[in-house]
Chain A
């Protein structure tokens, strides 16, 4: 019986003028936003590659100079976005796109697109994602709000009841039929996206898997909205009441819940201001962490330990460069303090993210958006993974220059020099983004929330079926 209902709902929905109109509007909207997003991503990737290559070449071609002075020239590194980011740029508009690597100090990313938009950005930020996560559920609501109430109002529900049609099979058949028709209309948009992505970006297996899982989760998300809409249509006696309630739910899920979640998270786990953050790092380096002593005490202790190690009484008599060793010692402490504060800050970001999930009790959109940006590699966890890799690289090249400085000087002299061959020997920053397993582990809570909403929507559909009366 359910197959017959699914087939009928599929055909009837496709023949319904609303679907065609909405589908065409969706295709135009999606195509416009996706082309803009894909263009923006392509521009960004090209710019990052070009600037990264130029910056490294400038590093490589430095003149003969002291290795530490060369280190202060610095290196820029960039996070390359996955092609999936064309569908969801996630936090990109708000996080920096590049990291400036320099001695003594660990920097935050800089140059966020929100502050430095390319032309396509003016088309609207995260627009493809907005179509997928906000407008498509609205389209589902528009298609399904009267799926049962219309049958009640027209009398076909009485006909079906008189034929002994099981209400559960009727509602689940409607769900499957409507979703099938919906995907037929959605297919051209997805095909267009696939063609654009494959034509313009090199796809790895991991990218493909991420895209596939994102599509699967989007389908679940649409299924949740469709199931809730059909359940509401069966529960309420009129189409008008159903539409009102579903629009309110959509509004809360898409717009209000994420904001409430964010406001709550900010209140419960506030971030330090930028000035506070940097001042605390400076203070901790200057005054030392607990039991470490202040800068002067640590410097004296290090000098004493070094003199004892080399069996000399004056630093001028050391067989290696003291200035470089002292700097490395100070930098090591700086790295420790920076790591402590950076980890605390980023742990707080994660805490805020978890707290913002309180908004997920009001609708599934927050969890889906979070999942979407994680699968696109554009979330906090992926950003942190990149920043940690960049910090490793910073320590690598700073230590390398200090090694040259130390080995090419003695005592307190500052005569060490390096040349182009040295600069060229610094390896390029080769960042390996984490795989889909990392993304799925990161998004465990969001997955759980989405599955809970799916269970709830199926439960509500079953409940409405049990009390469905003609």
Chain B
């Protein structure tokens, strides 16, 4: 694999639902090891962008690429190279965290021993005494950890996160941010849709603000100040920018 090819690319991406243009000419490149945070209000096009990489939507024009290949032409790319964590990690309530992890991994053609499964859950921050409990009793943060364990097991090239810290308490959000950062440091590309400015600034390398489907502004997360980011974000949200 050529290191110069970004892991995730959106080229002139347009996604339309009936008369509504949800994503409008989006261009984006996320290389290996980079966390890219997409900020924006409801309906800005963040989730639609993520859904398009996952092939839940088809582009109306333009394209998305995973390591230079279109997932819409080769559906296997999604299974092999992407990990997905929605706002509420969807798991089967009647099964334990361990069973959920094993089930999803088996469907992704990953065979885990019992020890490996426990180790993955522990690495993701889920306490050992919770592994065998049914997910119905899990908090949102615990579910996120099972989702992270699935993503880790997949050894995916990129992780797509849709509002991952929404509803988490500050401690859990901080813990989650650290684990995302660690994953990126191991070489994973991360695309994260979020409302959470603090979280974006804390974990991301680059930050983009979307409005009405367009990427209206981009920042280097390491250099932009929190106040500046907040003012820009609010200005776009209020239609002042």
Residues of A within 8 A of B (CB): 1, 4-5, 8, 11-12, 15-16, 151, 154-165, 469-470
Contact = CB atoms under 8 A, between A and B. Distances in A.
Contacts of B86: 155, 158-159
Interface string B178-191: 00000000000000
A156 B94 contact: no
B100 to A, nearest CB: 9
Contacts, number: 66
A160 B55 CA distance: 12
Given A155-B86, A156-B91, A158-B90, A164 B108 contact: yes
A155 B88 contact: yes
Interface in B57-82: 75-76, 78-80, 82
Contacts of B107: 1, 4-5, 160, 163-165
A1 B79 CA distance: 13
B194 to A, nearest CB: 17
Contacts of B95: 8, 11-12, 15
A156 B90 CA distance: 5
B75 A8 contact: no
Interface string B110-142: 000000000000000000000000000000000
A4, A157, A163, A469 — which one has the most chain B CB atoms within 10 A of its CB?
A163
A162 B90 CA distance: 12
B219 interface: no
Contacts of B38: none
A159 B56 contact: no
A16 B94 contact: yes
B94 A159 contact: no
Contacts of A161: 54-56, 78
Nearest to A8: B103
B133 to A, nearest CB: 13
A180 B81 CA distance: 34
Contacts of B78: 161-162, 164
Given A160-B107, A164-B107, 16 more contacts: A1-B106, A1-B107, A4-B103, A4-B106, A4-B107, A5-B107, A8-B92, A156-B90, A159-B84, A159-B86, A159-B104, A160-B104, A162-B82, A162-B83, A164-B80, A469-B56
Nearest to B92: A12
A163 B54 contact: no
A12 B94 contact: yes
Nearest to B83: A162
12 contacts: A1-B106, A1-B107, A1-B109, A8-B95, A155-B89, A158-B84, A160-B104, A161-B78, A162-B83, A162-B84, A163-B104, A164-B79
Given A164-B75, A164-B79, A470-B56, A159 B90 contact: yes
A16 B95 CA distance: 10
B173 to A, nearest CB: 20
A8 to B, nearest CB: 5
A276 B82 CA distance: 79
Contacts of B56: 158, 161, 469-470
Given A8-B103, A12-B95, A158-B54, A164 B76 contact: yes
B106 A15 contact: no
Contacts of B89: 155, 159
Contacts of A162: 54, 78-79, 82-84
Interface string B29-40: 000000000000
Contacts of A159: 84, 86, 89-91, 104
6 shortest interchain CB distances as A-B pairs = A164-B79, A155-B90, A162-B84, A156-B90, A15-B94, A163-B108
A150 to B, nearest CB: 10
Contacts of B80: 164
A11 B99 CA distance: 11
Contacts of A5: 107
B156 to A, nearest CB: 10
Nearest to B54: A162
Contacts of B109: 1
Contacts of B91: 156, 159
Contacts of A8: 92, 95, 103
Nearest to A15: B94
A155, A159, A469 — which one has the most chain B CB atoms within 10 A of its CB?
A159
A5 B92 CA distance: 13
Contacts of B83: 162
A236 B226 CA distance: 45
Interface string B11-48: 00000000000000000000000000000000000000
A162 B83 CA distance: 7
B168 to A, nearest CB: 17
B70 to A, nearest CB: 15
Contacts of B76: 164
Contacts of B55: 161
A19 B119 CA distance: 34
A159 B84 CA distance: 7
Nearest to A164: B79
Contacts of B82: 162
Contact of B92 (A156, A165, A470): A156
Nearest to A469: B56
Nearest to A12: B94
Nearest to A173: B107
